[in-house]
Structure 1
Amino acid sequence: MADSDIVCISPIDGRELVRRPIMSETAIDSTIASAREAQKAWRNTSLSERAGKVSAFLDALLAMNQEVVPEIAQQMGRPVRYGGEFRGVEERARHMIGIAEKSLHPIPADDEKPGFRRMIKREPVGLVLVIAPWNYPYLTAINTIVPALMAGNAVLLKHASQTVLAGERFQMAMDRAGMPKGLFQNLHLSHDQTSRILGSGLVDHCNFTGSVSGGRAIERAAAGTFTSLGLELGGKDPAYVREDANIDHAIENLVDGAFFNSGQCCCGIERIYVHEKHYDRFVEGAIDLVNTYVLGNPLDETTTLGPMAHKRFADLVRQQNAEAVAKGAKAHIDAKKFPADAGNSAYLAPQVLTDVDHAMSVMREESFGPTVGIMKVKGDEEAIRLMNDSPYGLSAAIWTSDVDAAEAIGEKLETGTVFMNRCDYLDPALAWTGVRDTGRGASLSRLAYDSLTRPKSYHLRQI
């Protein structure tokens, strides 16, 4: 493989699916210059005009769904039966378009002073670089692309090599919508080129979704440039099933939350704490449900669990499972029931582990795969302590019939989002954020516009 190429290897069969040459340095500089020029005009357009163009882009993207669904399966392994990501894409995009006027409206001074006009306006930061991941190639990117454009910015997109076609789909939709030339540009960049762009201060804001190590590399590259950063990094999201939970609902939703997309979800459930009253029933129900999964080719409509995006990701989960069993955990799923898992490919059988503890990496380090550990707890205090025993903090889910109890527990959890009786979902009206090694900054909600704009104060005195 040439160093100048970006290559996607399909997890379906390990064969090369897509190859693209990386951009030349001259092309990069020209692209950035054209984006700057386009942004000068775009920032002066009305919000209604921006909304019309961004909505046209969204419509053009949604019209590609039939082609996109199998492309996602081929690139990163999600089964076609689930129909892609565009329902969530549309929900998030239309919400952010809808709240733009209110979110970007000038903020009057807290107190009135006769003879003065005082306010804070929101101005676009300028040029926004979006570095998008492969696990949800459209959903994650849309979180920043739409509000960035609505706020009056230009956008550069660097997509993961595993989902290089998603970046090209974004560009195609922008072009079909008649977006101003240069305002949005999809770039094929190497890691070194991305670091150069950040280190040279050529962009004003960067949003990165990926690993903790990747986030640290982004911070190092941007150090000293004063480029603002939004980082959504690792997670080890917990769930707690209380004594008053609807146990059948909890089993169904938590199994889906742990194994959908082969566990490759930023806010997927990776560890479950169950009240001792429900523990045996929960474990039995979870095992029964997981055993109904069909591991296979994601292009097959009968497949409910596709391969992981790459063999090395599957190997990491295999290592975590093996370590847990070696330390005394019990593995409940017989891999032989999932013949597609030959032990040496991206195809990995799901696994449910019990007799686990926090000395095992599967309960503390990100798995990002189809495995989950289940622990018995005596009550809220023990569950809270264990849920907080993690270097990450993206979301946490509580299964209970008591809303007040869920809120009270949530106040003690060190996390970005607290769910009750659901998981693995982003509400576009709420900020998507994390604590600790999960990152910094916020996307979605009106707070997303704060990171994509800068305040400008007006203190106007009449004489």
Structure 2
Amino acid sequence: MTLDRSLDRDAFFIDGGWAAPATSATLEVVSPHSEQVVATVPEGSAGDIDAAVAAARRAFDEGPWPRMSPQERIAVLEVFSGLYAARMQEMAEVITAEMGSPISFSQLAQSPAPWMQIEAFLGIARDFAWEETRPGVLGADVVVRREPLGVVAAIPPWNVPQFTTISKVVPALLAGNTVVLKPAPETPLDAYLMAELLAEAGVPAGVVNIVAAGREVGEHLVAHPGVDKVAFTGSTAAGRRIAAVCGERLRRVSLELGGKSAAIVLDDADLETTMAGLRFIGLMNSGQACVAQTRILAPRSRYDEVVEALAQTVDGMAVGDPGDPATEIGPMVARRQQERVEKYIALGQEEGARLVVGGNGLPAGVDRGWYVRPTVFADVDNRMRIAQEEIFGPVLSVIGYDGVDEAVRIANDSDYGLAGTVWTADPEAGLGVARRVRAGTYGVNTYTMDFAAPFGGFKDSGIGREFGPEGLAEYTELKSIYTSAPEPA
């Protein structure tokens, strides 16, 4: 995989054009595979955030975007969608270069899925109840409007940068808001490509502004008095801090946070089908996915059979160069992430779990890069830290259970509630299990995200929802207008 142009940048996208940074600080984007610098971009400062928020504030308070009809905004984003579709391969390659996602996953999810989101939100916006008239119980008609919130601070993570960016930026724009986007410092490059497409589509100056920066500058954005809403995807720890800052200011906030999801294998499950599913939902994006189902709940009557099948499945996955289409498991995004996952692998052994496949050390055939061997633990107790804490790497834990009630109890015995699956030959029984597990998204013999339906989590997995009409509504304020007074009694 070879990109046909330099990825270096020397400016931020602010107020409709390329703006010189306030300082000389830079970010080096390093390939997790080669450990070589693939691009250098400016590192945002508080001053750059101030300029971006000021541009977004002007565009909202004085510009045309919030005052356009929804149909006019839809027309602009239809152009953006077409431009995005034409550059999906390039987008996939950029994301693989900057964060090490296997190119097969990038071509499946890192760029096509964001485009599918755009198309889904366009369809939702066309039929959305932007304004409706209701008969009031007091006799007067009431006009109920969905109006834009204002300036949205959008903060995506590094693992699926465009997927989580589009889920915020597009509904925010369709609703008439303006945006300041702060990409993660590990993955700024895809946002630059998106900026080009937005400008070419005719999005007015100041409506979208992009400044890549680290956590401290991100907190400056979250606390900025010019921001009306914060939309964040990332760790639960960071989400708690953002929620606290927004709570102090009574600022709107939506948070899509971590997960420790369980896949329940019922005793009648077909293991070939189940393993094909777990291969993806357990280890997608090299395990760096908030919805990854890393707790595998197996009935004790078939426990050894499930462990053996999972071990064979994981041991057979291709690990290596993320630019190779055959690769299924690529590197971790950064050395710190590699070290974090390796500490959890060591911890699992210290806690008494049985290492079945994997373990610490570079995978066979790999001599550099931030790789971790795909790992399966058996004899895991759900109270162990490897079963309770989000590892964010290719590590699976197999937990035994006796009976469906215990399986549901174990699945729910978590601070998180983002996703999950059940695998069974009886879809109706599976649906019954799905209704009992406290998770925001769930699958019976499958797992996916349909952009017509809301996505988000229970408990520590977040606040609010993305996708579907619910995801669009997150970027609106409700206003009731009374059109006539009730008749005197």
TM-score range, shorter chain: over 0.9
Deviation at 1:337, TM superposition (A): 9.4
Counterpart of 2:305 (choices 277, 281, 284) is 281
Q: Which residue of 2 aligns with 1:221?
A: 245
Pair 1:450-2:473 in alignment: yes
Q: 2:346 aligned with 1:325, yes or no?
A: no
| Superposed displacement of residue 110, structure 1 | 5.5
The offset of 1:278, in angstroms, is 3.4
Q: Which of 326, 332, 353 lines up with 1:302 in the alignment?
A: 326
Counterpart code for 1:448? G
1:10 aligns with 2:27: no
| TM-score, scaled to structure 2 | 0.88
Shift, 1:360, TM fit: 2.1
Aligned to 2:282: 258
Secondary structure at the aligned position of 2:222 is classed as helix
Alignment partner of 1:32 is 2:57:
no
Aligned residue pairs, count:
459
Identify the residue that residue 393 of structure 1 maps to in structure 2: 417
Q: Choose the corresponding residue for 1:364, options 384, 388, 395.
A: 388
> CA contact under 8 A between 2:89 and 2:111: conserved in structure 1?
no
Shift of 1:345: 5.0
Q: Take 1:321 and 1:26, find their aligned partners in 2: how far apart are those partners?
A: 41
> Secondary structure of 2:477's partner?
strand
* 2:373 is the counterpart of 1:352: no
Q: 1:286 to 1:224 in 2, by over 3 A?
A: same
Aligned CA RMSD, in angstroms, stands at: 2.3
Work out the CA distance in 2 between the residues paired with 1:345 and 1:6. 19
Is structure 2 residue 86 aligned with structure 1 residue 50? no
| C-alpha contact (below 8 Å) 2:311/2:357 kept by paired residues | yes
Counterpart position of 2:212: 188
Contact 2:454/2:466 (<8 A) preserved? yes
1:75 is matched with 98
1:113: Cα distance to partner?
Answer: 6.1
- Tell me, yes or no, if the aligned pair for 2:271 and 2:309 is still in contact at 8 Å: no
For residues 109-160 of structure 1, give each alpha carbon's deviation from its aligned partner in whole angstroms, at most 9, with x where no partner exists: 365665x331211000011111011111111111111111111111111111
Match for 2:158: what amino acid?
W
- After superposition, the Cα gap between the structure-2 partners of 1:413 and 1:83, relative to the gap in structure 1 and judged at 3 Å, is closer
What's the counterpart of residue 174 of structure 2? 150
Cα deviation code 1:275-307 (max 9, x no counterpart) = 234333322222222122221111223322111
2:85 alignment partner, one of 62, 66, 70:
62
Q: Are positions 1:178 and 2:207 aligned together?
A: no
Say whether the 8 Å CA contact 2:136–2:142 is kept in structure 1: no
* SS of corresponding position for 2:188: helix
Alpha-carbon shift at residue 313 of structure 1 (Å): 1.4
Deviation string 1:410-430 (CA, Å, 9 cap, x unpaired) is 33322212211112x221121
Taking a change above 3 Å as real, the CA distance of residues 112 and 289 of structure 1, as seen in their structure-2 partners, is same
Partners of 1:201 and 1:222 within 8 A in 2: no
Q: Give unmatched runs, 5+ long, in structure 2.
A: 1-22
Alpha-carbon distance, 1:341 to partner: 5.3
Counterpart of 2:125 in structure 1: which amino acid? A
Question: Bigger shift: 327-336 or 378-387?
Answer: 327-336
Question: Contact 2:362–2:372 (CA<8 Å) still a contact in 1?
Answer: no
* Percent identity for Structure 1 against Structure 2: 30
Question: Which residue number in structure 1 is paired with residue 189 of structure 2?
Answer: 165
Looking at structure 2, the residues matched to 154 and 456 of structure 1 have their Cα atoms a distance apart, in angstroms, of 19
CA 1:3/1:266 → structure 2, altered by over 3 Å: closer, same or farther?
farther
**Secondary structure of 2:321's match?**
coil
CA distance in 1, matches of 2:301, 2:136: 56
Q: Which of 104, 107, 112 is 1:87 aligned to?
A: 112
CA distance 1:25–1:276, shift in 2 (3 Å): closer
The residue type paired with residue 93 of structure 1 is: I
1:120 aligned partner, one-letter code: V
Question: Which runs of 5 or more structure 1 residues have no equivalent in the other structure?
Answer: none
The equivalent residue for 2:12 is none
Q: Structure 1 length as normaliser, TM-score? A: 0.93
C-alpha contact 2:291 2:418 (8 A) present in aligned 1: yes
